[in-house]
Amino acid sequence: MWTPPDQPENVTAAEPSLRDDTGGLEFQTEICALLERGPDGVALHRSDGTILRANLQMERWLGVARAELAGRGLDQFETSLTPSTLRHIWRNVPTDTPRVFEAALRGKDNTELPVEMSVTTVELQQEKLCMTIARDIRGRQQTKEALRSSQEQYRCLLDTAADGIITASGNGTIRSFSRAAEQLFGYQEGEVLGRNLTLLMPSAAARTHDSH
């Protein structure tokens, strides 16, 4: 289970080693329990990436027992950024806002997991440490890929249709212009995108359109 870091011998339960403005040791224990049960992977580490604690989800993702993770570098499991880049991020995390970026974690079986990492700083036993929370973004990436594929199919339809196809917003702003429409009206798509449909209408029809 995720537990608060061990306290030095000269610190009693009345003086929790994790200090902030949100409460005492009981509050910290509750937070640790939430992190342990949460769906995100969590690692407490030094600014050089040395892991001190990891929760159950991080253990599952990396395929390494938490006892074995302790002392290893978190950068050993990240594949999309160089170790020097990661250490630069960890050493320069703002104290008031988290540093958020996309990355990829590689497990023991070499399976890669796309994640969004949110890094904040915490002070434990007078040492500045990093708390990295990794969120699985496979669903988000699948949605992006599906949208990209849909846009490519739509573009293919526009480029191969025999009829001129024009799409516009509710106020008449042109959003797309097929190749057949280019041939029909004599404009290139780049010339009409963002302009009003009245550009393609005879003057009288344009005035009537604008009056509605």
Residue 58 exposed, middle or buried by CB count within 10 Å (0-12, 13-18, 19+): buried
Res. 159 pLDDT band, cuts 50 70 90 = confident
Strand arrangement, sheet containing 127-136: 51-54, 41-45, 127-136, 112-124, 99-106
Q: Average pLDDT for residues 176-200, to the nearest whole number?
A: 91
What does the alpha-carbon distance between residue 197 and residue 136 come to, in Å, rounded to a whole number? 43
Q: How far apart are CA 69 and CA 58, in angstroms?
A: 10
pLDDT-wise least confident of 73-77, 190-194, 205-209: 205-209
Tokens of 138: 């496979």
* Count of alpha carbons within 13 angstroms of residue 193, beta-carbon side: 7
In angstroms, what is the C-alpha Rg of the chain?
27
Which pLDDT value is given to residue 173?
A: 94
**pTM given for the model:** 0.60
**CA count, 13 A, side-chain hemisphere, 106:** 10
Lookup: tokens for 70:
């302790």
pLDDT for 106 equals 93
- Report, as an integer, the average pLDDT of 189-210: 77
Please give the average per-residue pLDDT across 32-37, as a whole number: 68
